[in-house]
């Protein structure tokens, strides 16, 4: 994936996050880790690896927001996103 495509994906995922944040039943703490890494789609100067890490962290949070438990489809996606985020973080 090219960096511009990754930035577009990152931007779309942020829009989805904002939708979930507006829902009453979704815990805001789910997105805390994403906020701590301080990489937004607007940060075009950041490396592709940093955006990749942010996308995986955000993907994990979104999957957890949609999951019923760790064994649901979204729960399994969340677990895999967490693994990918950890791998991407090690490569930073």
Please state whether the predicted TM-score (pTM) of the whole model is above 0.85.
no
Instruction: Report the CATH number at residue 49.
Output: 1.20.1270.110
Q: What is the pLDDT of residues 19-53, one digit of tens each?
A: 988 887 888 789 999 999 999 999 999 999 999 99
**CA distance linking residue 28 with residue 34, whole number of Å:** 11
User: Is residue 57 left, alpha or beta, with left meaning phi > 0 and alpha meaning psi from -120 to 50?
Assistant: alpha
Place of tokens 């995922």: 13
Domain that holds residue 40: 3-90
| Runs of H (alpha helix) within the chain | 3-22, 32-37, 48-66, 73-90
Structural domain count of the chain? 1
């Amino acid at each position: 994936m090219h960096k511009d495509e990754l930035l577009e994906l990152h931007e779309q995922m942020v829009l989805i996050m904002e939708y979930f944040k507006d829902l009453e039943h979704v815990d805001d703490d789910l997105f805390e880790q994403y906020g701590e890494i301080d990489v937004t789609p607007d940060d075009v100067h950041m490396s592709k690896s940093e955006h990749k890490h942010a996308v995986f962290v955000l993907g994990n949070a979104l999957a957890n927001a949609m999951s019923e438990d760790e064994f649901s489809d979204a729960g399994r996606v969340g677990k895999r996103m967490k693994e990918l985020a950890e791998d991407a973080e090690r490569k930073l």
